[in-house]
Amino acid sequence: MSPIRILLEDKNLWRKYYSNYKVRNSQIELAEEIYKTIKNHAYLIAEAGTGTGKTIAYLLPSILYSLEDKEYKILISTETKALQHQILNKDIPLLEKVLDITIKAEICLGSNNYICKRRLKNYIHSKELKPSHLPIIEDFIQWENSSNDGIILNYPKELPKDFITEVVRIPNLCLAQNCPNFNISYYFLEKEKWKQAKILIVNHHLLSAHIESNFSLLPKFNIAIIDEAHSFPQIYRDSSHQYFSLRELQNFIKKYKLDDILLNPLEEFQKEIQNKYSINKSLENKFLLDKSFELQSLFSFINSIESAIQKLDKEIKSQKDLFSYIDNIEKSEKELELLNAIEYLNQVLQILDIFYEGPIYNRVHFIEVNSFDIKLCISNVEVGELIYDKFLNKIDSCIFTSATLSINNNFDYFIQKIGLLKYKDNPEFIRTKIVPSPFNYKEQALLYIPKHLKDPSHKEFLSQTIEEIYQLIELVKGNILVIFTSKQNLNTVYKNLLHKYGEKLKQQNINIYSQEILGAQISLEKYKKD
């Protein structure tokens, strides 16, 4: 009998710490399959229905295997923050008690989640400080001074997005060891904690960025477990998406005073794009390009960008003497800003070159239009080969799991999405497993479909939805979780519910919490307590 089965079948052991513990054969099957996969340095695609207990099923075998080697690290990637916090605050502490060990685990966030002390200080003392931000400054600084981790999403009140972008860490603007705050930097202190952790918990976006950065963002790990894996290929594909915005370039030109070199060529370029593709900026649209970018203004536009790069390069050289008389920090900031400006223009040139070459196998080019902007976009069609070459091929073992991965009990579609199709006939290398849900849905669930609602594209859909949600709230006296696929719809419904029914609900002691206002974690905690 395997050590996994012995542990999971020991009810008395688990009930010391978890009174509701039940032995689930589906969980044991999954955990044993994961243990074999890790031991054989293979890959596993496992579909496990709701209620299987997936997190314990992958945490237990991966931890047991890694205990033999202190340097061995486990990475767990999820799509949602709620699952990350469940793993860190519920599942791992339970396993620590059951196994009588200490497991160092950390949630790793992208660097733009952390306040940059230097940028915050510079912004609140700068001429660019917006009057609309003045009322929040004092309270925010008090909170920041008491924060242990500097994670901006933990600030308990709503913050304007344009304020957040001014005070968080931006990788391209980071002075790293040259920064006076390096030793107390929230981000770099967190990275030191990550190095000491046995388990790294990330989201798919950060893992995708780590892969695209050639494994430079996170500490080395040996086993990867991709939970909520159905969304991973698409998120990775989006992370490799390249674009540049004509509006952003226009703002860039103003900021760096490049009007004389770039403004007219950009305007000519934009006019020609609009005429050639009959673009109406008042309508949101996407235009797929099936051949190379043949525009008369393209070469003069490229030449102008090259001239702008030369001007910025001269500016760096001409100010070397000036920089020598001022503080090293200011010198570093100015140089870094100009170097990043040059890098940005080089990225624009690279995208224009690719558009001139035209689409090739597995790469699409398109123009994205809305009332504010025109973007030139490049995207991969399939990213499976990239996922295998850049990621799977560099680690010992990987587990992909979710409640929805197969089609008619077949995993070929997902296997292709992650670049393993050529190995699918080698069961020692790639394993698959389907574990059914232990729930009795007929007796434990009720499905209600409001057939009177209009189609989601109809103008009355949202107003009808608001009324429907309000009736359900009254029917069950609160106790309701409403899930959206659109942030815009979430905000509209939330604001209208408060506006139309806020007083009525308040009288019934029913509160409404919005993820967009409070953040996912705080809103979920308040919801559960309430």
Q: State pLDDT tens for residues 355-400.
A: 999 998 889 999 998 878 899 999 999 999 999 999 999 999 999 9
pLDDT score, position 494:
95
Parts of the chain belonging to CATH 3.40.50.300: 3-104+199-238+383-441
Looking at the predicted structure, is the pLDDT value of residue 324 above 70? no
Percent of the chain at pLDDT above 70?
Answer: 97
Looking at the predicted structure, is the pLDDT value of residue 101 above 80? yes
- State the pLDDT confidence band at 345, using cuts at 50, 70 and 90: very high
pLDDT score, position 437:
87
The average pLDDT across 297-324 equals: 86
Question: Which residue, 528, 455, 523, is CA-closest to 157?
Answer: 523
CB within 8 A of 320, min separation 6: which ones? none
The average pLDDT across 347-362 equals: 93
Percent of the chain at pLDDT above 90?
Answer: 71
pLDDT score, position 321:
60
Which CA distances in Å does 52 have to 317, 401, 431, 458? 63, 11, 19, 39
The average pLDDT across 272-297 equals: 84
pLDDT score, position 328:
62
Which CA distances in Å does 76 have to 203, 467, 473, 491? 8, 40, 36, 31
Range with the poorest average pLDDT among 77-86, 316-325, 344-353, 429-438 = 316-325
List of long-range contacts for 5-11, beta carbons under 8 Å, 24+ apart = 5/32, 7/60, 7/98, 8/56, 8/60
The average pLDDT across 139-166 equals: 92
Mean pLDDT, the chain, whole residue set: 91
The average pLDDT across 282-293 equals: 83
Alpha-helix residue ranges (DSSP H) falling in 87-231:
92-99, 117-124, 134-146, 161-167, 186-196, 204-212
CATH class, 3-104+199-238+383-441 region = alpha beta
The average pLDDT across 444-466 equals: 92
Range with the poorest average pLDDT among 121-130, 171-180, 390-399, 472-481 = 171-180
Neighbours of 258 (CB within 10 A): 22
Pairing of strands 105-107, 223-226: unpaired
pLDDT score, position 53:
94
pLDDT score, position 322:
59
Cβ distance 49 to 439 under 8 Å? Answer: yes
The average pLDDT across 447-455 equals: 92
